[in-house]
Amino acid sequence: MYAKPDSNTMTTRIARAEDAMDAALKSLSYRLTETEDSRMTPKTPDVARPNGAATPPSLNGMRNDNAPVPAGEIAPEIAPLPSSAKRTPEAIAAGRPSREEAEAAVRTLLRWAGDDPNREGLRDTPARVAKAYGQLFGGYEQDADKLLERVFEEVEGYSDIVLVRDIPFYSHCEHHMVPFMGLAHIAYYPTKGVVGLSKLARVVDTFARRLQTQETMTAQIADVIESILKPRGIAVMVEAEHLCMAMRGVQKAGVSTITTQFRGAFRNDPNEQVRFLTLVRNKP
């Protein structure tokens, strides 16, 4: 049972917590500030911008913003981005910084982490990271609708379940930009025809290679299949491990998160859901 502490104990606890906070702040300041003055600057609260874009770096509380910035290290001008609801290729192109700006941002993060971007091992890292982003986040350039446009109708009237399971994917959580990865399973009951099986795997890739939440990704996969193929039913299950949970925060490894979407014939029929889950789990 939790006993309410008396006010003395409480005060002691608060004092101890304050001491601990002070010590933590001091060590942070020690690592991150260049001057005595900047330690005194109040930390400005993060204010979400109406367009959903990230606020400009507000690290005022920890570093001296008046210190001269080494050439090419920080690109503070962040162009306002259009709402993330519908990111057209044009909008993405318009809001995209130059390659040089992206590399400068990586150098800034390297310094933020505490390292020296000029040391030999890190010298080419900003260029490598910018290049890797092209692949890791290549999903922004792809249109999942287009992948499903080609439908094979000559399937001799096949209208039973089509299941593609164990599609591996790698994504990044939109909260920490840390990877989460796992398997996606997709089933549908065709009406007007079937799509090439590899297309379903590519649909998963298209959404995975963006900043995501697992829930959103699961719904997006179901949405696009539903809108293009108009199947009698669709079931999507995604199981993943989130490294942001394993490496930081609660630091629990090996935890898997499962998300599902059931549409059409699967939505209200537990038998259909059981059939789907049985086919997913029963491996030869």
244 catalytic? Reply is yes
List the one residue from 39, 131, 165, 176 that touches Zn ion (CB under 5 A).
176
Closer residue to Zn ion in complex, CB, 78/244:
244
Q: CA angle 163-169-171, nearest 5°?
A: 135
| Active-site residue, from 34, 149, 174, 215 | 174
Q: Which residue is nearest to Zn ion (CB)?
A: 244
Alpha helices by DSSP H, listed for the chain, are 7-32, 36-40, 89-95, 99-113, 125-136, 144-147, 197-208, 214-229, 243-247, 270-281
> Least separation, in Å, of the C-beta of 176 and Zn ion?
4
Closest contact distance (angstroms) between CB of 281 and Zn ion is 27
Q: Identify the active-site residue in 212, 214, 220, 273.
A: 214
Annotated catalytic residue, options 103, 242, 272, 273? 242
Taking the C-alpha atoms of residue 81 and residue 68, their distance in angstroms, rounded to an integer, is: 28
The least CB distance from residue 128 to Zn ion, in Å, is 23
Q: Is 244 in the site for Zn ion (CB under 5 A)?
A: yes
- Inter-residue contact 263 to 229 (CB < 8 Å): no
Closer CB to Zn ion, 213 or 260, in the complex: 213
- Is 214 designated active site? yes
Of 173 and 265, CB closest to Zn ion: 173
Q: For the chain, first and last CA: distance in Å? A: 49
Cα separations (Å) of 166 from 185, 195, 233? 6, 17, 19
Q: Which residues are catalytic?
A: 173-176, 214, 242, 244
